[in-house]
Structure 1
Amino acid sequence: MNTRPVDILGHLFTPEAIRAHFIEDEEESKVFDNVGRHSSLKGYTVPEFKAYADEIGLGRMHVAAFQGWSYRQQRRYLSVTPEEVWEVSKQLPGRVYGLFGVNPHDALKGVRHLEKSVKEYGFVGIHVHPHGFDLGPEHAFYFPYYAKCVELGIPAVFSMGHTLSFMPSENGRPMKLDRIALYFPELTIVCTHTGWPWVEEAIALASKHPNVYLGTSAYAPKYWKPEMVHFCNSWGQDKMLWGSDFPLVKHAESLAQIEGLDLRPAAKEKLLYKNAEKIFRYDR
């Protein structure tokens, strides 16, 4: 069993992907400028990423075949195909795994592509970014994907909470996952990005539903709300998953900051890898 950190949500890290999606895309470039991260953007070839992961002690990383929609410009943005992720992940077996990005407008064509991605490419879940589509995750267009996840035995990972991108944040309210968890008790749901600024909503959902987990991606640990740190260190330790939303949060800085949170050893192990190893299937 892997005993090194598992990053449950990141982006395709190749030089071409980083340049196209974060440096040259006008909308995302402004987002990274706003948070002072544009100058640190850097892509990695496959050999470079392997060396990078070895150096920082990273175990596994989930890379989203991201499907986003620009709310302002009404166009695709950050569009990464499952095949692009598969091309990288097959060169890094046991280290990089894909998440199928859901475009709710692809309907059953997308559901078929999801099934292929799991069965042929070894993908371990879906990723839903509801903000740009302006369709909350409880919208009917997503439900065929959730049903297929149950059939395939894979989790659904949601980018929730406020979005740094220029899109309506309301679609990321964690409470929008409540009805999904009620309708699909067999579906493992991961509410990422800490749910901020609705962190207590996210904690409430993870406490209420056995099938709901809370992920930390996109927020550096030094900014985690005290309520979430307490949840992670006590009664919610079995429901927490670590993530980066890389390249937004750098792995080394996140891991170093976690060391400063004074987490109990068992809680830290569960956060960093044990809970992920429990809910994601890496043996396909």
Structure 2
Amino acid sequence: MSSFIDIVCNIYTPEAVENGWTGLDDDFKRQVRMPPEMFGGVSTDEYLRKMDRAGIERSLLIAVRAGDLNVKGSWEIPYKVIARMCREHPDRFSGLAGIDQTRGMQGLRDLTQAVEEYGFVGAHWYPHWFGSPPDCAQIYPYYAKCCELDIPIMLQVGQNLVYSKERRLPSVARPILLDQVAIDFPELAIIGIHIGVPWTDEMIAMCWKHANVYTAGDAYAPKHWPPQYVRYADSYGSHKVLFGTDWPVIDPERAVAEIAALGLRPASHAKMMRENALKVFTKLPR
């Protein structure tokens, strides 16, 4: 088996679908061409088999916090749910702590607990669910806490799709807005996930400018990645691009196969699929 690391993975079990922990309505599932037989979720055992077939050693599971829970249409995955899955499969899963910056000091305590008690290896933030750009003042204490905990933070940059017609969200996180954040927190590893589409050039520019900014090629099928993104991953940016799927948006077997078909140099491929993740996520098991 290969030893790839998927840094962007959501739980999509029948339990998650039943409890409303996915935030995806059937319209979105059809938009991303999800097979109808998957609408009700995929068991953990079946997903582990998918990982095996794809050569993925470990997936980072997000304990998503998607919006202020006082606002209709917001939702979250309890940290304890992700912690349980990581305990049950410690050699396959690690956790990422979702951030809801509207919770103030309690949110900071939650983040600390996730890392120190549950063993989570990073933080995750969805700017668009809060209508807050990456450089807003309210999120800054969380950036500082990530520095204190020695964990990276990933956040969606680029456009935001309509995940549910109940809650249509604007796109508030252009990659260029990482500029001031990277300047203010040079110790913080920042990962712009979802490629930054349609502002991919901005994402590349931020990675090139700042030593502490990275990007993940997730949420879009690799065969559709912008050409400049592929060139960047195979040249001067090979140390800055990480592998992710955003499962269930992209199937891991498809993602791995399509990346293999890109024709990356072996050294670039190895960095994207594993080595860069180990460099950025310092708390991952070696």
Q: 1:48 Cα shift?
A: 3.4
Q: 2:104 aligns with which of 101, 107, 111?
A: 107
Q: 1:123 aligns with which of 100, 120, 125?
A: 120
Is the CA contact (8 Å cut-off) linking 2:21 and 2:77 kept in structure 1?
no
Q: 1:38 Cα shift?
A: 5.8
| 1:261 correspondence with 2:262 | yes
Counterparts of 1:103-252 in structure 2, within 5 Å, are: 103-165=100-162, 166-169=168-171, 171-252=172-253
Q: 1:94 Cα shift?
A: 2.3
Is the CA contact (8 Å cut-off) linking 2:50 and 2:253 kept in structure 1?
no
| 1:33 correspondence with 2:30 | yes
Who is 2:165 aligned against?
Answer: none
Structure 1 residue identity aligned to 2:9: G
Rounded to whole Å, the distance in 2 between the matches of 1:28 and 1:206 is 33
Rounded to whole Å, the distance in 1 between the matches of 2:103 and 2:222 is 35
| 1:66 correspondence with 2:67 | no
Is the CA contact (8 Å cut-off) linking 1:195 and 1:202 kept in structure 2?
yes
**TM norm structure 1:** 0.92
Q: How many correspondences in the alignment?
A: 279
Rounded to whole Å, the distance in 2 between the matches of 1:37 and 1:162 is 20
Rounded to whole Å, the distance in 2 between the matches of 1:29 and 1:104 is 29
Deviations 1:79-118 (A, max 9, x none): 1011110011110102111111111101110110100100
Rounded to whole Å, the distance in 2 between the matches of 1:148 and 1:283 is 22
Unaligned runs of 5+ in 1: none
Q: Secondary structure at the match of 1:263?
A: coil
Who is 1:89 aligned against?
Answer: 86
Q: 1:196 Cα shift?
A: 0.4
Deviations 1:5-35 (A, max 9, x none): 1111111132211344478x6x633222223
**TM norm structure 2:** 0.91
Q: Secondary structure at the match of 2:25?
A: helix
Is the CA contact (8 Å cut-off) linking 2:128 and 2:160 kept in structure 1?
yes
Is the CA contact (8 Å cut-off) linking 1:161 and 1:194 kept in structure 2?
yes
Give the root-mean-square deviation of aligned CA atoms.
Answer: 2.1
Structure with greater helix share of residues: 1
The 1:78–1:9 alpha-carbon spacing in structure 2 relative to 1, beyond 3 Å, is farther
